[in-house]
Structure 1
Amino acid sequence: MFPSSIDKEELKKLPLQAFPGTIHVIDSVAGMQKYMPVLKQEKVLGFDTETRPSFRKGRVNKISLVQFATPFHAFLFRLTALNLPDELVELFEDDSIIKVGAALHDDLIDLRRIRDFKAGGFLDLQKYVEAFGIENKGVAKLAGIILGFRISKNQQLSNWDVDKLSDAQKEYAATDAWVCLKIYLELQNYQLK
């Protein structure tokens, strides 16, 4: 069984890990047409979103980036360039593809502010880990508890609306979606033992 929690000091001692695969940034219709068929072939995808932080009380910015990850590829969709196209909405509604993320409730509300859709196939790790007796539910702590490594959160509050994402931003965004997938797959393997 997994420990129910991990403290900050224990987490700091773990090795740092980042997404090891290829990162694809999609900000055009051509990119959508190239990569959506690849995503639709998957049974399970890691999922996350990024939003430019707001430092004013009561102000909420639109989601800037939607990320999907497979074990070896991450797909970063720039909503600042694409808005919320039909192809993404179809993927969000597809029950046959599991989209694994953490704290999905807020992500889905924010995405529906851009365009309404009926979410299908989403699995929230924060609820899923309860069956394993895990109390710490943040992605960084879940990575430590379940995968035995830590992930960097340094880019979390960066500007996701910039014209060109930095390499550090791309790695951070890819890692967030990938680690959700990796946690889910590890828990699935654990259940099969």
Structure 2
Amino acid sequence: MEISIEDHKLPYETHSLYDVKFFGDKIRTLVTHTPSFVNTWIAETQQKLLRNNHPAHHPLIVGLDIEWRPNFGRRFDNPVATLQLTAGNDCLIFQLLHCPTGIPQSLCAFLSNTTYTFVGVGIENDAKKLMDDHGLRVGNAVDLRGLAAEKLGDLKWKNSGIKGLAREVLGKGVEKPKRITLSRWDNVWLTAAQVQYACLDAFLSWKIGDSLLAA
């Protein structure tokens, strides 16, 4: 199967671990609401950066996406429930709403680091919602739509979505089922389908951004 997910079925309440497979890639996906696991994920990601000797002009590219409980009606504005970050084949899904002790400082510093490049479709809106809902600032956000329009030489990509960009840049298709898009992202326990969906949004953002920035 070209896209699949495997649950490691860890016996803990603090975190879960999955392998999401997307064609030839296997993305190690950590789902947690616990700050210590966020701290570890960020530290490991930064260590890989040092080992891999990324070029100074783009030392780290991170795919970023968020999810929240759907707003059914104008009076509703539900806060960001999950933050997804992907660097390479490692994904973090942080359940912000269920964090018991407040957002870790390591995450604040990571997101606000202007030497890192955070990429996503409509990322400016995501960054604004993160700031409005949780006080998290994204220091260097790059919208994949504008980047694709520039690198591919066609303004039509300014109105594209992640599915269209994945087909054009990566030559691979992905589905975004409405039943998952509009599901309860504020639940304490996410389903495997939600984890796969959330992981792929961030992973594809990273992979597309990495490809376009290298062009």
1:39 equivalent to 2:45? Answer yes
Find the counterpart in structure 1 of residue 170 from structure 2.
147
Q: Secondary structure at the match of 2:156?
A: coil
- CA change 1:73–1:120 in 2 (3 A) is same
- The alpha-carbon deviation at position 44 of structure 1 amounts to 1.3
**Which has more strand, going by share of residues?**
2
* Whole-angstrom distance in 2 between the partners of 1:22 and 1:119: 23
Q: Secondary structure at the match of 1:33?
A: helix
1:188 equivalent to 2:202? Answer no
- CA change 1:78–1:118 in 2 (3 A) is closer
Find the counterpart in structure 2 of residue 112 from structure 1.
131
Find the counterpart in structure 2 of residue 165 from structure 1.
190
1:130 equivalent to 2:142? Answer no
Amino acid at match of 1:135: K
Q: How many positions carry a matched residue from both structures? A: 176
* Whole-angstrom distance in 1 between the partners of 2:155 and 2:194: 29
- The alpha-carbon deviation at position 117 of structure 1 amounts to 4.9
- What TM-score, normalized by structure 1, do the two folds share? 0.82
Alignment of 1:61-140 (within 5 A): 61-82=78-99, 84-131=103-150, 132=152, 133-136=154-157, 137-140=160-163
* Whole-angstrom distance in 1 between the partners of 2:26 and 2:183: 22
- What TM-score, normalized by structure 2, do the two folds share? 0.74
- The alpha-carbon deviation at position 53 of structure 1 amounts to 0.6
Residues 61, 210 of structure 2: 8 Å contact kept: no
* Whole-angstrom distance in 2 between the partners of 1:109 and 1:58: 19
Runs of 4+ with >6 A deviation? none
* Whole-angstrom distance in 1 between the partners of 2:203 and 2:127: 18
* Whole-angstrom distance in 2 between the partners of 1:173 and 1:134: 27
- CA change 1:49–1:69 in 2 (3 A) is same
Find the counterpart in structure 1 of residue 76 from structure 2.
59
Find the counterpart in structure 1 of residue 15 from structure 2.
none
Q: Secondary structure at the match of 1:143?
A: helix
After superposition, the CA RMSD in angstroms is 2.0
Larger RCO of the pair (alpha carbons < 8 Å, separation 6+): 1
Residues 143, 183 of structure 1: 8 Å contact kept: yes
- The alpha-carbon deviation at position 25 of structure 1 amounts to 0.8
* Structure 1 runs not aligned, ≥5 long: 1-14
Deviations 1:57-86 (A, max 9, x none): 231110001111122111101101225432
* Whole-angstrom distance in 1 between the partners of 2:83 and 2:165: 21
